[in-house]
Amino acid sequence: MSRIAYVNGCYLPHGAASVHIEDRGYQFADGVYEVIAVRNGVLIDGNWHMDRLRRSLSELQIRMPMATPALNVVLCETARRNRFRDGIVYLQVSRGVARRDHPFPSADTRPALVVTARRTPPIPAKFVEEGVAVISQPDIRWGRCDIKSISLLPNVLVKQAARVKGAFEAWQVDGDGFVTEGASTNAWIINEEGHLITRPVENTILNGITRRRLIALAKVQGIVVEERRFSLEEAKLAREAFLTSTTAFVLPVVQIDETVLGNGRPGSNTAMLRQIYLDFVAEKALKTG
């Protein structure tokens, strides 16, 4: 079956879906996006994704392409037409189509909306059971990483550097030696006291929805969460480390650059946190699916 995309009001086969050559997303990366996990046909934390989408658009002075309830219908319908129950939906909103010029076009320019959806294979069991490696890379991104911009070239470059070195992810490091986040994930460590440590919400990181949910779940369990900066050196000395994202959920990190963490195996705290998150997703899908 051909995959189906939604493009500016129409559901189309992928092969027929297109955007205008002067769409500002294509010309300037002038737009934002969201990736939402789907389980049992349910958008996981869809409301939080919509909140973040509205914020990103507001920061760029782009209008919502439609009302939130209507957009939710489009997201669910795109997933339904692609005939899967577990996967992701991707939505992208650009400022729209206008003659190529750096300043914003006229206020009546209509935002462009593209939605795609697909099944996603589960994270390989080996990654969960054995953990993954990350490398460190200088953070060369712009100063507003809190906006989920489609301008991702620096992220692409560091992710490719990780792939070349056989690592799963790259953790980016700012000019002061502190870890910001991964190319497409949030970074976490666990100290000797069992406290979760992750960089605070600021312009240098994206406030990941999985990150946000895990903090809430951990606090319910009475786990101490420290939202503070941690250095690359502190990470290499940590008791455990892991990363979070919409597609990886909670994934143990057992090596940073050449440094093996602990005994080189995923820690019990990370395993517990992953299970807590998986239980949340399963319950959410069961209740609303």
Which residues, including other chains, have CB under 8 Å from residue 258's CB and lie 6 or more apart?
none
What angle in degrees, to the nearest 10, is found between the helix axes of 46-59 and 68-81?
Answer: 120
Candidate list 126, 148, 284, 287, residue with the active-site label: 148
Identify whether 165 is a catalytic site residue.
Answer: no
Tokens representing 204 are 């240098």
The catalytic site residues sit at 148
